[in-house]
């Protein structure tokens, strides 16, 4: 049965010998969304995307593209940029983009028109008939990105699309992703660069050591870390003791400022009033900027600590018979 949901993965696990690359992964990519698939190198992101496309079969669980298995019919609606880059060196960018569009069912005339439009959009029109071997690495990568979306896919999967691009071309790719989303495409992209996800995504999925450690909106991710304010006071004032008396128990000093964590139900103005009521000689006050990088580091560290704890708990103590 056809579905409007581009991707559903249900309790998916993938092993390579004794190594579990992905463990009990469930996720849904809603239609019309931009989802960031985040994690450090080796977290299981690329393996998960390959299972989503049917390149790898899961050992456990189920994968559905638009309600069906990843097959020739559902994959025609998908555009994919693999992490491993590679193009036909003797072909031109125009020919490659047109070729990939035709593989996905676009007519010859429409595919060439689409190739010309995309090359112009990315500032590559003057290189459209050059050999790929004559292009720079960055230009070649842009051509491969364009080839992945040439057939106007309903669902676009990009594996580390920003890797190897300079800041100018990274911005160009962000603009292209936004344009594809405006066209109606659902987009899932993996990255370990948090800033791209902050700027582009409706929601994020975080992986660590083969497990999903977060799945939700950016605001929910920031909430998982906890909110805080930064309060500067004159040297020698014990803000920790003063704030604890007002119900703010977790306070850390960082140079000239104190980081005061906000308990559930308390906001930044509550913290400011508490500091004033405590007679704190305030020199500065500002809410802490929420950064996805901090959330990421916190959740990944927790996952690694949990894995280490489980390993120690299940290992046989030295000198004890198995």
* E-strand stretches of the chain: 7-16, 19-29, 34-38, 60-65, 78-81, 155-159, 186-191, 203-208, 211-217, 228-233, 251-254, 257-261, 282-287
pLDDT of 7 reads 97
Question: What's the whole-number mean pLDDT along residues 212-227?
Answer: 81
- 136 exposed, middle or buried (CB, 10 Å; 0-12, 13-18, 19+)? exposed
**Where in the chain is CATH 3.40.50.300?**
7-222
**Residue range 116-126, pLDDT digits in tens:** 999 998 889 99
pLDDT of 305 reads 58
Is beta strand 228-233 parallel, antiparallel or unpaired with respect to 282-287?
antiparallel
Q: Are 70 and 155 within 8 A, CB to CB? A: no
pTM reported for the whole predicted model: 0.78
Q: pLDDT class for 322, splitting at 50, 70, 90?
A: very low
Q: How far is CA 193 from the centre of its chain?
A: 8
Comparing 308 with 191, the larger pLDDT belongs to: 191
**Where in the chain is CATH 3.30.70?**
228-287
CATH of 7-222 among 3.30.930.10, 3.90.550.10, 3.30.710.10, 3.40.50.300 = 3.40.50.300
Share of residues in the chain with pLDDT > 70 (%):
91
CATH tag, 228-287: 3.30.70
Comparing 276 with 250, the larger pLDDT belongs to: 276
């Amino acid at each position: 049965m056809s579905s409007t949901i581009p991707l559903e993965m249900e309790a998916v696990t993938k092993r390579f010998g004794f190594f579990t690359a992905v463990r009990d992964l469930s996720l849904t990519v809603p239609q019309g969304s931009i989802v960031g698939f985040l994690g450090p190198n080796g977290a299981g992101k690329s393996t998960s995307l390959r299972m989503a496309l049917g390149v790898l079969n899961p050992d456990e669980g189920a994968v559905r593209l638009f309600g069906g298995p990843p097959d020739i019919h559902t994959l025609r609606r998908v555009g994919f940029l693999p992490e491993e880059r590679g193009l036909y060196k003797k072909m031109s960018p125009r020919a490659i983009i047109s070729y990939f569009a035709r593989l996905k069912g676009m007519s010859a005339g429409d595919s060439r028109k689409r190739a010309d439009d995309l090359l112009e959009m990315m500032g590559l029109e003057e290189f459209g008939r050059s050999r790929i071997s004559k292009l720079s690495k960055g230009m070649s990568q842009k051509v491969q990105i364009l080839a992945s979306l040439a057939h106007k896919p309903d669902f676009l999967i990009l594996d580390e699309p920003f890797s190897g691009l300079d800041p100018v071309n990274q911005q160009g790719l962000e603009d292209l992703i936004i344009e594809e989303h405006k066209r109606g495409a659902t987009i899932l992209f993996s990255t370990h660069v948090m800033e791209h996800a902050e700027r582009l995504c409706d929601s994020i999925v975080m992986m660590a050591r083969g497990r999903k450690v977060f799945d939700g909106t950016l605001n929910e991710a920031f909430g998982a870390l906890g909110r805080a304010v930064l309060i500067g006071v004159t040297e020698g004032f014990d803000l920790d003791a003063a704030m604890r008396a007002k119900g703010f128990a977790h306070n850390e000093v960082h140079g000239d400022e104190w980081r005061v964590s906000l308990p559930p139900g308390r906001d930044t103005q509550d913290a400011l009033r508490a500091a004033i009521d405590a007679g704190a000689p305030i020199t500065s006050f500002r809410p802490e900027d929420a950064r996805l990088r901090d959330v990421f580091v916190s959740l990944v560290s927790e996952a690694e600590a949990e894995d280490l704890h489980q390993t120690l708990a299940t290992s046989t103590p030295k000198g004890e018979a198995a």
